[in-house]
Amino acid sequence: MKILLLDKNHPLITEQLLAKNFTLEEDFTSSYDEVCNTIENYDGIIIRSRIPLDKNFLERGKNLKFIARVGAGMENIDVVAARQLGIQLINSPEGNRDSVAEHVVGMLLVLMHRLFIASLEVKDGIWKREENRGDELLGKTVGLIGYGNMGKAAAKRLSGFGCKVIFHDILPDLSDEFASQVTLDQLKNSADIVSLHIPLTTETYHLVDEEFISGMKKDFYFINTARGKNVNTGSLVEGLRSGKIKGACLDVLEYEKSSFEHLETENDDLKYLLDSEKVIVTPHIAGWTHQSKEKLAQIIVDKILASFG
């Protein structure tokens, strides 16, 4: 089989697939149109997020048997068209779930205990104790929206902090030893902390908006390590201004480029988030550890070999 690699990934992908007699070609720079002109020559694609694989692209790939996405989200791929064309879709959410879960806990602790702010103040010669009094995770009810690989990994860790963990998911009967399944209304009535672990779809676009935020019974902390467009940023900012949202931990932003390489929009809402002491922002790195890079790649190789080896 002849495979096109469209993004740089861990070298074990190349090493292990070459050892199994796959033919591999790398193209990390060509544009969408340039790749479209050659895609019919390949049996498979390995990609992260560099270019969109829409219906037009997939139809041009007349010999494509699979698309392997090194990561979890598949929004860069026209999933419906791929299935209609008989193209197998492979991803690797198992590979970075532990990284994401640790990032969630880390951001929460930094925010709730004012660790970053207090550290910067002391380094600047400012010694404030009462102003930096923290808020404990112990005893909080955490509401997870989405209970796949990421949600389950987060629940396992948060339960160890003495949190009560509940979750809402579109699939039934997912409760386990770490979290209990509830309706979305029940989650809104109980949660002190809300964390998103959902894909980006037409149903989840701007899921967190003014109606969602105002429907929360308690003032709450908010975490998003899923996709930026799951959240209406204007509504988030208003929630922070009003105090309904006590603080936010954001690894993803609505204004990211689709390839996640940088921000493509600047506006007053973004400036508020970047300037606010109530907001922790990281550059889409929740799943981005040395360990996850290797695990993501190994899972992709294992799945390709299981189907086509």
> What is d(CA 142, CA 112) in angstroms, rounded to the nearest whole number?
14
CB 226 within 8 A of CB 198: yes
Token output for 140? 């909080």
Check 34, 136, 261, 264 and give the catalytic one. 264
What residues contact 237, with CB distance under 8 A and at least 6 apart? 269, 272, 273
- The average pLDDT across 241-258 equals 95
pLDDT of residue 216: 98
Give the strand pairing for 141-145 and 88-91: unpaired
pLDDT at 258 over 80: no
Per-residue pLDDT of 269-309, as tens digits, reads 999 999 999 999 999 999 999 999 999 999 999 999 999 98
**Model confidence at 265, in pLDDT bands (50, 70, 90)?**
confident
Check 10, 103, 197, 284 and give the catalytic one. 284
pLDDT of residue 173: 98
- The average pLDDT across 55-77 equals 95
Token output for 190? 């109980």
- The average pLDDT across 219-247 equals 98
pLDDT of residue 260: 73
pLDDT at 262 over 90: no
Token output for 24? 């591999």
pLDDT of residue 263: 85
pLDDT at 221 over 90: yes
Domain ranges of the chain: 2-91, 97-281
Query: Which class for 185: exposed (0-12), middle (13-18), buried (19 or more C-beta within 10 A)?
Result: exposed
> What is d(CA 207, CA 224) in angstroms, rounded to the nearest whole number?
12
Region class of 125: left (phi > 0), else alpha (psi between -120 and 50), else beta: left
Give the orientation angle of helix 290-308 with respect to helix 97-112, to 10 degrees: 150
The dihedral of CA 254, 257, 258, 259: what is its sign? negative
Token output for 210? 């003014």
Check 10, 227, 254, 256 and give the catalytic one. 227
- The average pLDDT across 171-193 equals 98
- The average pLDDT across 100-113 equals 98
- The average pLDDT across 227-238 equals 97
Complete DSSP assignment for 250-297: ES--TTB-TTSSSB----HHHHHHHH-TTEEE-SS-TT--HHHHHHHH
Is-catalytic flag, 262? no
- The average pLDDT across 48-73 equals 95
User: Which architecture characterizes domain 97-281 according to CATH?
Assistant: 3-Layer(aba) Sandwich (3.40)
The answer to whether domain 2-91 and domain 97-281 are alike in fold is yes
- The average pLDDT across 173-185 equals 98
- The average pLDDT across 108-112 equals 98
Percent of the chain whose predicted confidence (pLDDT) is above 70? 100
pLDDT at 189 over 80: yes
- The average pLDDT across 221-230 equals 97
pLDDT of residue 309: 83
Per-residue pLDDT of 11-49, as tens digits, reads 999 999 999 999 999 999 999 999 999 999 999 999 998
- The average pLDDT across 233-244 equals 98
CATH of span 2-91:
3.40.50.720
Is-catalytic flag, 284? yes
- The average pLDDT across 55-79 equals 95
**Model confidence at 261, in pLDDT bands (50, 70, 90)?**
confident
pLDDT at 109 over 90: yes
Helix (H, G, I), strand (E, B) or coil at 45: strand
pLDDT of residue 257: 81
